Amino acid sequence: MSRKDHHILSEAERLAGKLPGLLLEAEKVAHTFMKGVHGRRRVGQGESFWQFRQYQPGDQRRDIDWRQSAKRGDAYVRQMEWEASQTMWLYRDASESMNYRGYKNLPTKKEFAEILLLALSLVTLNGGEQVSLLGTTLGPQTHYNAVQRLFEYLPSQTQLAETGRPIASRSEVVLISDFYYPVEQLMAFCQKLALRGVRGSLIQVYDPSEQSLPFKGRMKFYDIEASGAPAIDVPQVEAIADEYAKRFLAHQEKLKLAARALGWKFLHTSTAEKAENVLTRLYDDLSVKKGKT
């Protein structure tokens, strides 16, 4: 593990240590084969059969259904409805724009997103819930020490897609990105999940310079997502700063309204904000408040 990777993991553990264990808000399950409200998952418990699916890396051997495996000629695991629905699926954008950093003393957007994702994983696992990475083959993790495995699988999370592991209804999805693409494209993905009863949170991460455009004089801007695209030459950056700020806020408002339409949460933060403060705000949205059920 490189020094940079070790720093991200260490910082995530430090941030997570500042919060109590994250408890996902208990779901009031409507299905007749589910009984009661389960605030925290317990390993090995589940009240109704959901499906058989093929064994994948990350599954526990104890979950293999040997009778079904013998019939089908391959290893299959048995999933229970409760276990499948109590997973928090996490995603951090790995596109080129996330590698941007406007100030040397701040992390890149991708680094900030990964620290936040891993810290959230730690408090979630500590609270007894399952965690996995959206768009990967990693099975839902159940132990506090599984954060190392989540970290190792992060490089395989390259796009916003429901590939690899299916997301069960009533799960929780947290998407961390700068969301610098059409909101309609994001909605096309999220609506499919929301229709299945999946709850979600959109976390927009941006560099302070992307919010205020604090540059002066003549500058060239490059689209780092489009390799080889010609630069945009701006003779006087100050002249477009106000219009740029309006468009930035307008896009942010569209994200907020999109999340509201889905019944999801929306948070935004710059990389200059302390990550523990962002984690606290996210915790407040996801946790079960004391005295409430």
Report DSSP letters for 138-191, one per residue: PPPB-SGGGHHHHHHHGGG--SS---SSPPPTT-EEEEEE---S-HHHHHHHHH
Residue spans per domain, the chain:
3-24+86-286
pLDDT in tens, 207-234: 999 998 888 898 888 787 777 778 888 8
Cα–Cα distance measured from residue 82 to residue 215, given in angstroms and rounded to the nearest whole number: 52
What would the mean pLDDT of 37-41 be, rounded to a whole number? 34
pLDDT band at 126 (very low <50, low <70, confident <90, very high): confident
What would the mean pLDDT of 179-206 be, rounded to a whole number? 94
* Percent of the chain whose predicted confidence (pLDDT) is above 90: 34
DSSP-assigned letter for residue 17? T
pLDDT band at 274 (very low <50, low <70, confident <90, very high): confident
Q: If we measure between CA atoms, which residue out of 93, 112, 79, 85 comes closest to residue 24?
A: 85
- CB-CB contact of 202 with 265 (8 Å): yes
pLDDT in tens, 225-271: 777 778 888 888 889 889 999 999 999 999 999 999 999 999 999 99
Q: According to the model, what pLDDT value does residue 213 have? A: 86
Q: Which of 15-19, 75-79, 90-94 has the lowest mean pLDDT?
A: 15-19
* Percent of the chain whose predicted confidence (pLDDT) is above 70: 78
What would the mean pLDDT of 14-34 be, rounded to a whole number? 35
Q: According to the model, what pLDDT value does residue 259 have? A: 96
Query: In Å, how far from its chain's centre is CA 81?
Result: 22
What would the mean pLDDT of 85-94 be, rounded to a whole number? 86
Which CATH architecture group holds 3-24+86-286? 3-Layer(aba) Sandwich (3.40)
Q: According to the model, what pLDDT value does residue 152 have? A: 86
Sequence-distant contacts of 63-68: CB under 8 A, at least 24 apart: none
Residues 6+ apart with CB under 8 A from 123: 16, 19, 20, 21, 22, 279, 283
Q: State yes or no: pLDDT of 49 exceeds 70.
A: no
Number of alpha carbons in the 13 Å side-chain half-sphere of residue 253:
6
Q: State yes or no: pLDDT of 62 exceeds 90.
A: no
- In terms of C-beta density within 10 A (0-12 exposed, 13-18 middle, 19 or more buried), how is residue 8 classed? buried
What would the mean pLDDT of 21-45 be, rounded to a whole number? 29
Q: According to the model, what pLDDT value does residue 44 have? A: 38
Q: What number of other Cβ atoms are within 10 A of residue 91's Cβ?
A: 22
- Backbone phi, psi, residue 95, to 5°: -70, 165
Beta strands 37-38; 27-28: pairing state: antiparallel
